[in-house]
Amino acid sequence: MTAALGREGDRLELRVGSQGAVHRGPVILVGAGKAAGAMACAAATVAQPRSGIVIVPHDQRGATPEGVEILHGAHPVPDASGEAATARLVSLVETAADDTLVLVLLSGGGSALLVSPAPGITLADKQVVTAALLASGADITALNTVRRHCSTVKGGGLLRAAPHARAVWTLVLSDVIDDDPATIASGPTAADPTTYDGALQVLGRWLAAGVVPPRMRAHLESGAAGALPETVKPGDRLLARTRLEVLADNRSAVAAAADAARREGFEPLVLSEPLVGDAAAAGRQVAARLMAGPPDRAVAVIAGGETTVRAVPGGRGGRSQHLALAAAVALDGHDGVVLAGGTDGVDGQTDAAGACVDGGSVQRARASGFDVSAALAATDSHPVLAATGDLVRTGPTGTNVADLVVALRPAC
């Protein structure tokens, strides 16, 4: 963060990107996401904000940066605390005058924490649809297409709340594989290329018709018919005074893991494509690549990504635990270890960041009375991995750049 921002006297400098920027005058600092608190602590020392509000998950407690208030909300399904915090954040942004910079700090989790339902939609409506889409196996791009079109703050909505600000600078830690600014935290300060009709298509593909609350469907249908204003689109005049820079992303985590593996004497084999789609398939892919590595060398297969799981009701776990358990089946009886975890320290609705399995994990599961194949079919990986001692619990890490998988195998 301190490399991205600098201060020379009364000059606040943006020092990242192809072209820098300078601001003289008051600063309002706002943000949301799992890493937003740590980002704010670093940024506030340089930006010296006049005031600020940052929204983080309920379980995060830490230092409060000078001039900035830390508020809390729920993740991944929003709650009333997040809605109230967002209202206060938007009200603060609306005070930005023509001499004021709005400095926005975003990271993964911001979509749930920045919650401001569009007129006619209730928080309960958003909770129902968010939970249903998360369980359906829809990816983050699909989920956030719906979120943007049911919100007053997403899809460039925060820019609309600051029509008089001199400038809006947005600094991002990306948990999105392609670093799409419209998808990260649902793009509160970014242009949105998607449409109301696209949001309806997402709902039609992933959810049964009766799941979607009538108010939300009516809202999206009105928007698709042209009766409601669209989200901020590329070329909108609001974008002329904005800058958005990604400070770190999943590739950063993968590169750091490869460097660490190399220092420990492993030959890093970095998967060229991110892990997406079905988590179990990704786990089998990683295990197969590990066992196919050069037998005369210690190898580390390293990958990043964000997989999905079509959850079965009653199943406990997250995508990293599901991936790891599937990898354990493929590794059964072989020499090797697979670690899969969320860089934010949270995997699904559990207290684990993920899991670290090996060639004996399946045997330990059987000895504890578990049928691993049945657990995978039921998307119920958490109790199995708890019994085998393979869960990884870090607590919230204060960052979020999607998921990381590291698989290790010694020389044969």
Give the residue with greater pLDDT, 63 vs 370.
370
Lowest mean pLDDT among 54-63, 278-287, 311-320: 54-63
Tokens of 223: 């928007």
| Choices 3.40.710.10, 3.40.1480.10, 3.30.70.120, 3.40.50.300: CATH for 250-409 | 3.40.1480.10
| Same fold? 5-116+151-194+231-248, 250-409 | no
Instruction: Collapse the DSSP code of 272 into the 3-class scheme (helix H, G, I; strand E, B; otherwise coil) and give the result.
Output: coil
Determine the pLDDT at residue 124: 98
Instruction: Write out 356-378 in H/E/C secondary structure.
Output: EEECCHHHHHHHCCCCHHHHHHC
Assign 17 a pLDDT band (cuts: 50, 70, 90). Answer: confident
Question: Where does the pLDDT of residue 363 fall: very low under 50, low under 70, confident under 90, or very high at 90 and above?
Answer: very high
Q: Residue 14 pLDDT more than 90?
A: yes
What are the domain boundaries of the chain? 5-116+151-194+231-248, 250-409
Residues 215, 121: contact at Cβ < 8 Å?
A: yes
Percentage with pLDDT > 90 across the chain: 94
Give the mean model confidence (pLDDT) for residues 244-267: 97
Instruction: Give the model confidence (pLDDT) of 67-111 as tens digits.
Output: 999 999 999 999 999 999 999 999 999 999 999 999 999 999 999
Determine the pLDDT at residue 15: 94
Whole-number pLDDT of residue 76: 92
Indicate the angle between helix axes 123-136 and 140-148, nearest 10 degrees. 160
> Does the pLDDT at position 2 exceed 80?
no
Whether residue 280 is predicted with pLDDT greater than 80 in this model: the reply is: yes
Q: Give pLDDT, residue 39.
A: 95
Q: Is 90 exceeded by the pLDDT of residue 61?
A: no
pLDDT at 19: 83
Mean pLDDT for all residues in the chain: 96
pLDDT in tens, 45-55: 999 999 999 99
Burial annotation 367-403 (CB, 10 A radius, 16+ → b, else e): eeebebeebbebbbbbbbbbebebbbeeebbbbbbbb
pLDDT exceeds cutoff 80 at 334? yes
pLDDT score of 147 more than 90: yes
Q: In the predicted model, is pLDDT for residue 271 greater than 80? A: yes
pLDDT in tens, 126-144: 999 999 999 999 999 999 9
pLDDT computed for residue 3 by the predictor: 85
- Whether residue 1 is predicted with pLDDT greater than 80 in this model: the reply is no
> CATH for 5-116+151-194+231-248, among 3.40.640.10, 3.40.50.10180, 3.40.50.300, 3.60.20.10?
3.40.50.10180
pLDDT over 90 at 298, yes or no: yes
* CA-angle at 402, arms to 398 and 405, nearest 5°: 110
Nearest to 396 by CA among 346, 357, 355: 346
Confidence (pLDDT) at 66 = 87
- Find the mean pLDDT for residues 216-226: 98
Q: Give the pLDDT score at 242.
A: 96
> Where are any strands of DSSP class E within 151-234?
167-173
With cut-offs at 50, 70 and 90, classify the pLDDT of residue 375.
very high
